[in-house]
Structure 1
Amino acid sequence: MKAAPEAQRRLLDLQGVDTALAKIVHQRKTLPELAEIDAAAREISALEDERVRAQVAVDDLDRDISRFEKDIEQVRLRKERDQKRLDAGGSLKEVEGLQHELATLNRRQSELEDAELELMEQRETAGAALAEVQGRLAAAAGKRTDAERRREEATADLTKELEFKTASRVPLAADLPSDLVTLYDKIRTETGMGAALVYAGRCGACRIELYGADLNRVKSAPADEVVRCEECRRIMVRTSESGL
């Protein structure tokens, strides 16, 4: 392929823009905020599991305390009925039976109240644990929200820069021979770089030094000949800095 030396040199400007575009795309995909968001999401997931377990513990204790309260209330009602019957009088056998039952109910009430008190202490501890994990969960959610906000801001800035660079590429490419741009774009799509400066006898893309027959090939090629690196197949742009 033939192309004027000046057109070949301007390929480097086009490559500069494309390199900048690729860098911006890479930056958008690798924003540090993305890693922060992923880490926060994993933390939130783990904390949510912990919160569920803590909530289940609290719910179980609440249910047990409620059951004890009902049992205690039943004992109290039974004591009230027995006390009324005792106050109403009756035979000695009936009075002794009621007194014995009241004593039994008192012991039962005391046992139930002691057990309830122990559960209430456990409930206080479980409630504190639940509140603590809820606090950590809220903090993690806050970190994720902040990282998402910063990600959106950074993405918006990079998108504007990408649009600006993309717009600046259009006149550069349009001002070059179409067949040269087509070849350049094909190579760039395949390898990530379409053209590079030959500098100090080395290919600027793969950095391999030219020597022997390959060096002679490049040296002897007419100035308007589009030459490519035998190693990486990129277009090699020759200037006074090429050392040929």
Structure 2
Amino acid sequence: MKAAPQAQQRLIDLQELDSSLDRLAHRRRTLPELAEIERLNARRAELRDQIVAAETELGDLEREQRKAEQDVDQVRTRADRDRKRLDSGTVTSAKDLASLQAEIESLGRRQSDLEEVVLEIMERREEAEARVNALRAEADGSASELAALTERLNAEQSKIDEEAGLTTTARTGVAKDVPDDLVALYEKLRGQFGGVGAAVLYRGSCQGCHLALNTVDLNRIRAAADDDVLRCEECRRILVRTAESGL
């Protein structure tokens, strides 16, 4: 392949612009805000599950407390009824009086036990309410943090996109100075070799693979015409000669 030395030099300019675009694309993909947003979204998903579980537990405890309070009320009502019978004087049999007194005492003990149950449930309910409130507060805080992160991410992406747009415009202008067949070869090699399709020969070394060329290859390059498009024998990238090639 043949191309004017000036066109080959412009190929290096094209490579530099493409490398800049690659770096910008990499920066955009690896912005720290992206990782933070991913971490925060994962935590928010955990919080949603934890809130549902905590609210379910709280609902169960509320029902359990209502049931326990109803049991207390039923025992208290029965005990009050028995006391009224005892105080009314309608029960005259000593045996019946003893039995009624024993039942009132038993109901008193039962009421005391049930009230302890209610107190224990109330403590557990307060703890559950505290967990729900704490989880909701964290969820609200994470929502604010996510909004701030998203705003910062959008700003950073906009800056990168603006720079990429200017670089792309410059690339379009440079590409016009390079023959189509040379651009096609360059693009093919870029795809094969990690985004670098052309490299400068600097002081006897290829700047694509950073290996020093041997004497035979250097002599071959010295003998080549100025418009010959050369390839590195090691990495097969397009090799562009400059005043500092060491020839």
Query: Would you say same fold, with TM above 0.5?
Result: yes
The structural deviation recorded for 1:14 is: 0.9
Q: TM-score, normalised by structure 1?
A: 0.89
Query: What is the correspondence of 1:126-205 to structure 2 with a 5 Å cutoff?
Result: 126-191=128-193, 192-205=195-208
Query: What is the correspondence of 1:213-228 to structure 2 with a 5 Å cutoff?
Result: 213-228=216-231
SS in 2 for 1:196: strand
Cα distance in 2, alignment partners of residues 211 and 167 from structure 1: 39
Question: Could you list the runs of 5+ residues in structure 1 that have no partner in the other structure?
Answer: none
Instruction: Give the match for residue 73 of structure 1.
Output: 73
**Aligned: 1:15 with 2:18:** no
1:188 partner letter: R
Cα distance in 2, alignment partners of residues 8 and 219 from structure 1: 16
The structural deviation recorded for 1:67 is: 1.4
- Aligned partners of 2:85 and 2:91 also within 8 Å: no
Instruction: Give the match for residue 236 of structure 2.
Output: 233
Cα distance in 1, alignment partners of residues 166 and 76 from structure 2: 82
RMSD of equivalent CA atoms? 2.2
Question: Could you list the runs of 5+ residues in structure 2 that have no partner in the other structure?
Answer: none
2:219 partner letter: N
SS in 2 for 1:27: helix
Q: How many residues align?
A: 244
Query: What is the correspondence of 1:207-218 to structure 2 with a 5 Å cutoff?
Result: 207-218=210-221
Cα distance in 2, alignment partners of residues 49 and 21 from structure 1: 41
Most deviating of 130-139 and 202-211? 130-139
Cα distance in 1, alignment partners of residues 123 and 227 from structure 2: 90
SS in 2 for 1:236: strand
| 1:82-133 superposed Cα distances (whole Å, 9 cap, x missing partner) | 3444454413135544433333222221221122112222322333233333
Most deviating of 231-240 and 167-176? 167-176
| 1:130-186 superposed Cα distances (whole Å, 9 cap, x missing partner) | 333333343334333322222222122212222222122112112321111111111
Cα distance in 2, alignment partners of residues 65 and 237 from structure 1: 84
Q: TM-score, normalised by structure 2?
A: 0.88
